[in-house]
């Protein structure tokens, strides 16, 4: 997965507006100056077409080949948080021969909060694009946002996930393959919720059924909610194949619509799709349906609180191309929402950040090795570069600690009013 692979020809019908960079000469000039200043102290080598080299990297440092500098700087100038990724998708820049994309992105991720000078960061609100209103996670908006990612194709996800079809951070111990590490992660969430035989469990976010299957194998009865038609179909098939259909009910239903009482609630990396406007609704719903004495097992991707506050209104490349409507919370934001809107609090915490770096590394390797199979599902070379950029971008974020992931046990605070 390096720059030795040929950059694909972009299909304008599939990717309208992507081939032609936006034009703003003033902003492009400013962007170029910021970019040159930003990479000056990074352990990278940036190579321009005229042979100019930027960065302080040595011969073994990752290499960024800038193929079309004018296009790159115009994209960065008009919208840096979207333009950098789009420039990679179309080949305005790529990795040098032998350079791994995550290795190249890691120095950028380590300095992400300092790449732009402070005085320019204060002007962020004047230049950054707001989130489209249609991507706000209302009941209708959430259905569309989820469909845009999870209904791409079950075949796509089957190609690079492990046999459990688990699409979240694993939990590795020495000698684990990805499948074993994913099952350990699921057991960790179920243990946090104290799921045992005879309990009725609510799962918010089915995925492809791995956690519901594992809970049913413990003897629990599971009501699992998803908004994805593709996920529901495959999850129900997998559950039936294992003879667990009497224990697991997969519903295409919004969490806001759930009724009843449950002995435990579990949710794995779904809160990132809720949106900060709806965090109070999400957690108060859990508080409402959780039976007395019940617990919740929650796995959440997180980021430092100051970075969450600084970026929560930013519309980024990830939003546009991967997860519309998404927002990664901080642990502090979760605690504050619980305290203000529920009787719940965090009573146990397990951090798995480095485990997500390894999970993503393995997903990216599997994605590359099964590309021909993925392409048979109708995906082109531009999609490949988009997906690889996303996986490598996240891998770098977890590697440097800009992103984290935690398993949290929630229980009622006996002192709450």
Please say if the pLDDT value at position 415 is more than 90.
Answer: no
Tell me the mean pLDDT in the region 306-316: 89
Per-residue pLDDT tens digits for 198-215 = 999 999 999 999 999 999
Tell me the mean pLDDT in the region 97-107: 96
pTM for the full model? 0.94
Per-residue pLDDT tens digits for 259-275 = 999 999 999 999 999 99
**Which residue segments constitute the domains of the chain, with CATH numbers given?**
25-128 (no CATH), 134-412 (3.40.50.150)
Please say if the pLDDT value at position 417 is more than 70.
Answer: no
Annotate the chain with three-state secondary structure.
CCCCCCCCCCCCCCCCCCCCCCCCHHHHHHHHHHHHHHHCCCCCEEECCCCCEECCCCCCCCEEEECCHHHHHHHHHHHHHHHHHHHHHHCCEEECCCCCHHHHHHHHHHCCCCCCCHHHHCCHHHHCCCCCHHHCCCHHHHHHHHHHHHCCCHHHHHHHCCCCCCCCCCCCCCCCCHHHHHHHHHHHHHHHCCCCCCCEEEEECCCCCHHHHHHHHCCCEEEEEECCHHHHHHHHHHHHHCCCCCCEEEEECCHHHCCCCEEEEEEECCHHHCCHHHHHHHHHHHHHHEEEEEEEEEEEEECCHHHHHHHCCCCCHHHHHCCCCCCCCCHHHHHHHHHHHCCEEEEEEEECHHHHHHHHHHHHHHHHHCHHHHHCCCCCHHHHHHHHHHHHHHHHHHHCCCCEEEEEEEEECCCCC
Confidence of residue 1 (pLDDT cuts 50, 70, 90): very low
Please say if the pLDDT value at position 165 is more than 50.
Answer: yes
Q: Among 127-131, 150-154, 239-243, 331-335, which is the least confidently predicted range?
A: 127-131
Tell me the mean pLDDT in the region 389-400: 97
Tell me the mean pLDDT in the region 127-156: 90
For residue 312, what pLDDT is reported?
87
Confidence of residue 313 (pLDDT cuts 50, 70, 90): confident
Tell me the mean pLDDT in the region 263-292: 97
For residue 127, what pLDDT is reported?
58
């Amino acid at each position: 997965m390096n720059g030795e692979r040929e950059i694909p020809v972009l299909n304008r019908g599939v990717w309208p507006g992507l081939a032609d960079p936006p034009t703003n000469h003033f902003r492009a000039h400013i962007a170029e100056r910021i970019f040159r200043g930003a990479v000056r102290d990074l352990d990278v080598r940036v190579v321009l077409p005229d042979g100019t080299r930027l960065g302080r990297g040595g011969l073994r440092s990752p290499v960024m080949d800038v193929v079309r500098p004018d296009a790159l700087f115009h994209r960065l100038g008009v919208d840096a948080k979207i333009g950098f990724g789009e420039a990679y998708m179309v080949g305005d820049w790529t990795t040098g021969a032998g350079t791994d994309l995550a290795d190249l992105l890691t120095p950028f991720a380590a300095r992400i909060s300092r790449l732009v000078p402070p005085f320019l960061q204060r002007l962020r609100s004047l230049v950054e694009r707001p989130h489209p209103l249609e991507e706000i996670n209302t009941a209708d908006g959430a259905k569309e946002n989820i469909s845009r990612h999870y209904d791409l194709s079950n075949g796509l996800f089957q190609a690079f996930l492990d046999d459990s079809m688990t699409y979240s951070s694993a939990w590795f111990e020495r000698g684990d393959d990805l499948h074993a590490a994913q099952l350990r992660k699921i057991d960790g969430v179920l243990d946090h919720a104290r799921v045992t035989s005879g309990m009725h469990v609510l799962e918010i976010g089915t995925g492809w059924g791995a956690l519901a299957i594992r809970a049913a194998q413990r003897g629990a009865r599971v009501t699992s909610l998803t908004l994805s038609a593709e996920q529901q179909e495959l999850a129900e098939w997998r559950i039936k194949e294992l003879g667990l259909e009497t224990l697991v009910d997969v519903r295409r239903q919004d969490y806001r619509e759930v009724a009843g009482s449950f002995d435990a609630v579990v949710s794995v990396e779904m809160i990132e799709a809720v949106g900060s406007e709806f965090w109070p609704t999400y957690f108060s719903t859990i508080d409402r349906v959780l039976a007395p004495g019940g617990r919740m097992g929650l796995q959440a991707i997180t980021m430092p609180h100051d970075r969450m506050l600084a970026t929560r209104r930013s519309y980024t490349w990830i939003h546009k191309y991967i997860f519309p409507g998404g927002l990664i919370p901080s642990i502090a934001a979760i605690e504050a929402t619980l305290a203000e809107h529920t009787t719940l609090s965090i009573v146990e915490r397990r951090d798995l950040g480095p485990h997500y770096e390894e999970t993503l590394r393995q997903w990216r390797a599997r994605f590359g090795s099964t590309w021909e199979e993925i392409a048979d599902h109708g995906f082109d070379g531009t999609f490949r570069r988009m997906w690889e950029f996303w996986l490598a971008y996240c891998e770098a974020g977890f590697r440097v600690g800009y992103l984290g992931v935690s398993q949290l046990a929630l229980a009622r605070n006996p002192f709450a009013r």
